[in-house]
Structure formats: C-alpha cells, structure tokens
Amino acid sequence: MKQLSLASTIALLLAVLPPRASAAEALAIRGDLVYTMAGPAIRDGVVLIADGRIRAVGPAGEVLVPDGTRLIQAAVVTPGLIDAHTVVGLSGYLNQEQDQDQLDDGDPIQPELRAIDAYNPRERLLEWVRGFGITTIHTGHAPGALISGQTMVTKTAGDAMLRPVAMVAVTLGDAGRAGEGEKKSPGTRSKSVAMLRAELLRGQAYLRKRQLEDETKRPDKDLRLEAIANVLDGTWPLLVTVDRATDIASALRIAEEFKLRIVLDSAAEAYLLSDRIRAAGVPVILHPTMRRAGTGETENLAMDTAARLRRAGIPFALQSGYESYVPKTRVVLFEAGVALANGLSTEEALASITIDAAGILGVADRVGSLAVGKDGDVATYDGDPFEFTTHCTAVVIDGDVVSDDPR
C-alpha cells in the first residue's frame, strides 16, 4: 500500500474538518448584563477578545476597546455553554444505521473504543445545538454496555479538541445488561459488577507486568488493558451511568475498592445517597431535567434533583444525555431552564452548564467562564437565556463568530 506524504496527510485531515475563520480580528461584545461566572454579573459590561483569547472583561467604562474593533451588542452575555454529556457527533440526526456510531453491542466490555475515531465534526446536530449557545460538548460512547468506550471533550465548531480522551463510559443497572432473552452476559446486576471488578483486576496485573524492570518480561501492548490501566492509575476517570440507589452504591464501592476516580452519570436517585456521594467526593453529571420517567430505573426521578444536590454540596453539571429517537438530542440550555424553575437560582442554573461543567470535565482552565486568558467562547441573547421566547443572537468560539442568526 502506498504511504501518504506528510503534506498529503495534513491536506486530507483538513478536508474532513469544518472550515475555521480567522480569529485574528479583535472583537468586543457589550451586554446590558454580562454573566462572567468568574465573579458577580456586570451591568453594562464588555468582553474583549483578540487572537482567540479573552483579553479584558469589565464595565464598559473601564475596558479600552481599540478603534476598528468589531462590536456585538446584546441584552445578556454568557460564557459559551457546555453540555456535560451527550452523544452528538457519534449519534446523527438522520437516525439511520450509517450515522449511529454511539454504541457497539458486539462485546459488553470495550474500553478501547475511542470516541475520536467515530466523531463526525460535520454532523448537523452540532450546528443545531451551537445555535443555542453551546460551544463545548463532552461526547462519546453511549450508555448501553458494561464498558462502552471512551469519551472526549471538544468544541462545536472548528478543530479545537480539548480532551481527546476524557473518561471511560461504564453502565450499571438495566441499561448495561444484555438484551432480554439473549444468552449473553451480564444478565444480572451481580454479574455486571463481578465482570467489571474482574476486568479491573486484570488491569492491575497488566500494570504490574508493564512496570517490570526486565523489558523482556513486559507484556505486549493490549488496547483493552491499556485503557483499563489508564483508569487504574488515575489518568482517566470512569463515567458510571447509574440511576437506582443500589447501582450508585455499587459504583461507590468499586471506586473505593480500586481507588478510582469516578463521575456519576444520570443518577436519578442520587438524592437518596447524597451523604455518601458527598463523603466520597464524587461529582455528578445529572440526567436531563425533563428526562422521561415513570417506570423502571427512572420511576423515582425528580425534577428538583439538581437543587437537592446543590443544597447537599455535591458538585454537579447538567447534560442533554442520549435521546434514542428524533431529533436525537435535547438542548442543555432548556434542561437548565427547567432546573431553574425547580429550585436553582439563575446563577446556579447557568453554572451547571458553564463553570461547574468545565470543572467536572477538567477543562476549566480553558472554558466555562469569561476571564482574561481563557478561550474566546461567548454566547449572547436578546433576553433572559432561560426564557423560552429569548433568542440566542450570536455564538463566538475561539474569537470566531460562528453563528449570528437568532435562534
């Protein structure tokens, strides 16, 4: 097979990525109310961006805007919003076999599957959610297998990959079991936990052998065990999708046994174990506020769980989650709005999709707040962002205006 030259390889990569406009142009965004999420909101504030980074934030009378700077005016300005867990980019809007790469059911344990290898930066759903102000997403393999693969954190435009691997996705409970009537494992909750513990034990043995001084006795590289090793040494956390309290308890026991970093995902009954979750120092990426409930694992779902976690002192963020049917994604801005109506303050709701989400995902040094030196990711609105009749009037990513059609 003929090998591609370096220049040809780069050209090929650029061809499959969305075009990115120059961020060299200075940009000033002035808002009647600017939520920086790095301090109090600013009345009549300005955010100055140059070379893709935030250069100044403050009251309009205190920020020097150079002549010739492009100006955007808005009623409300926020940091670019963050969807703390989605499958957009792997799950496509067509809802057809060729654009559904979020889950491989060939094996219950596949930690070696990388989201980056299935991610489609041209997926139309990215454009859709970006139009509401969502500039960063944590996406990857969906719940539905015991270990379904790796997740990643990326921007919704351009080629800014914040974390090529963020977490390894695990599902405990009904969603992680083999299909009904199939003779596959795991078939019960006990088997799920046993299989996960066995895989972690294999990873420990692999780690010990990999660290042997005698290189001839070290094992050949194993993609599956390499991924597990990265979990065991703390490089990657486990993203554990659980809903029932009994499954949350199992996740906490496994984390304690193997000294793992974990993030609870969905966690419908987290409020029943809030003391244990807080004591373990485990953050939660909470289910979409409007997630359908009524039977099964979500029968005890509550719309005020976000407010309960906030009162309990548990770090949490909101997500759009996985929507199995069209339109294939929720909008995390709306989910935060409903959480606001069920006990959160405006700032708390906004934090759950900006700075708090960035902290849980490990990217708060880049995104999540409007602060000098951070990426120039901004969303503007013509009213309260959480009012259904409000429009998102502009979206800026790395200093580029990627959307200015009101939505």
CATH number of the structural domain spanning residue 389: 2.30.40.10
Least confident of 98-102, 188-192, 226-230, 282-286: 98-102
Tens-digit pLDDT profile for residues 148-202: 999 999 999 987 899 999 999 999 999 888 765 455 789 999 999 999 999 999 9
| Whether pLDDT at 289 is above 50 | yes
Alpha-carbon gap, residue 62 to 245, rounded angstroms: 51
Is 89 found in the same domain as 71? no
Helix/strand/coil for 271: helix
CB of 53 closer than 8 Å to CB of 59: no
Is 218 found in the same domain as 179? yes
Is 128 found in the same domain as 8? no
Predicted pLDDT at 180 = 54
**Mean pLDDT to the nearest integer, 117-131:** 96
CB of 307 closer than 8 Å to CB of 339: yes
Is 147 found in the same domain as 136? yes
CATH number for the domain spanning 238: value is 3.20.20.140
Predicted pLDDT at 183 = 54
**Mean pLDDT to the nearest integer, 200-205:** 98
Least confident of 66-75, 158-167, 329-338: 158-167
Is 235 found in the same domain as 299? yes
**Mean pLDDT to the nearest integer, 325-354:** 96
Q: Which of 335, 237, 228, 330 is nearest to 286 (CA)?
A: 335
Q: Write the burial class of residue 220 (CB in 10 Å: 0-12 exposed, 13-18 middle, 19+ buried).
A: exposed
CA atoms within 13 A on the CB side of 24: 1
Per mean pLDDT, which of 140-144, 184-188, 400-404 is the most reliable? 400-404
Is 355 found in the same domain as 376? no
**Mean pLDDT to the nearest integer, 214-236:** 96
Is 231 found in the same domain as 332? yes
Is 89 found in the same domain as 50? no
**Mean pLDDT to the nearest integer, 62-76:** 96
Predicted pLDDT at 3 = 44
pLDDT category of residue 58 using cuts at 50, 70 and 90? very high
Least confident of 47-51, 96-100, 342-346: 96-100
Alpha-carbon gap, residue 393 to 390, rounded angstroms: 9
Predicted pLDDT at 23 = 56
Tokens for 20? 């990115």
Query: How many angstroms separate the Cα of 145 from the Cα of each of 106, 174, 196, 204, 351?
Result: 10, 10, 11, 22, 30
- Which domain covers residue 70, as residue numbers? 1-79+369-407
Predicted pLDDT at 326 = 78
pLDDT category of residue 259 using cuts at 50, 70 and 90? very high
Predicted pLDDT at 175 = 84
Is 232 found in the same domain as 87? yes
pLDDT category of residue 256 using cuts at 50, 70 and 90? very high
pLDDT, averaged across the chain:
92
| Whether pLDDT at 325 is above 90 | no
Predicted pLDDT at 346 = 98
122-125 contacts at long range (C-beta below 8 A, 24 or more positions apart): 122/16, 122/18, 123/88, 123/89, 123/92, 123/93, 123/99, 124/92, 124/93, 125/88, 125/89, 125/91, 125/92, 125/93, 125/327, 125/328, 125/329
Is 344 found in the same domain as 380? no
Is 175 found in the same domain as 234? yes
Is 139 found in the same domain as 285? yes
**Mean pLDDT to the nearest integer, 367-380:** 98
**Mean pLDDT to the nearest integer, 272-300:** 93
Predicted pLDDT at 54 = 98
Predicted pLDDT at 113 = 98
**How many domains, in total, are found in the chain?**
2
Q: Which of 335, 369, 365 is nearest to 351 (CA)?
A: 369
Query: Model-level pTM?
Result: 0.92
225 vs 295, higher pLDDT: 225
